[in-house]
Amino acid sequence: MKPSNSFFAISATVWLAAVVGVMAVLLNYSASPGPTGMIPQLWPEGSRISFDTSRSNLVLFAHPRCPCTRATLGELEFLMARCQGRLDAQVWFITPPGADQAWTDTALWRKASSIPGVAVHHDEGMTEARRFGAGTSGQTLLYDRSGRLLFKGGITASRGHSGDNPGRSSVIALLDEKLPRGIETPVFGCPLFAAECRQGKLACKP
């Protein structure tokens, strides 16, 4: 083999190995769930979040600057269209101490506000996220009308991925009374309580 051909072959091999390595890292990252805390089995007393005793209650905690959360909101929009009238749905965006309203007023806030039937709120001081044990943007909780936990987890298949997934399907099946309560799925998104997330830096990849 001529030296030039040998150099080309070695370079191509190194380049291919690097590409494969980067792809493996990205795939592993996109499929890595975020942290969660202790989710209360009963609707916690003292919560500022309103509770509807006439239907199931869905609460979604989100970081207003996590790009992965756009996919979660897309899945929530699908759920609201599919389950009209059977859900009281609220999205609570974390607002760290010292942050003003402009910090939370992002495209994600506007997206959530545009979903019919969804109420959007500021979680000032992140007190409700802590109370409900939410640790990752996109954490979704479903409680029945008596305040018992039916579902906890994410409603996307991976970070920033839209489409059919176990979380979304489970919520629908629970509302249709086709599954027992206690379903859990992984949550994919930005950690809510990491320092860089509180400051608004993007820990997630779009």
Q: What is the pLDDT along the chain (206 residues), one digit of tens a residue?
A: 555 555 444 544 444 433 333 333 333 444 577 777 899 999 999 999 999 999 999 999 999 999 999 999 999 999 999 999 999 999 999 998 888 888 899 999 999 999 999 999 999 999 999 999 999 999 999 999 999 999 999 999 987 788 899 999 999 999 999 988 899 999 999 999 875 555 555 545 43
Which of 19, 148, 109, 150 has its CA nearest to residue 140?
Answer: 150
Residue 114: partners with Cβ closer than 8 Å, 6 or more residues away: none
* The pair of three-digit structure tokens given for residue 102, joined into one six-digit string: 């402009």
For residue 139, the cross-strand partners are 61
Which domains occur in the chain, in start order? 56-198 (3.40.30.10)
Distance CA(38)–CA(181), nearest Å, equals: 17
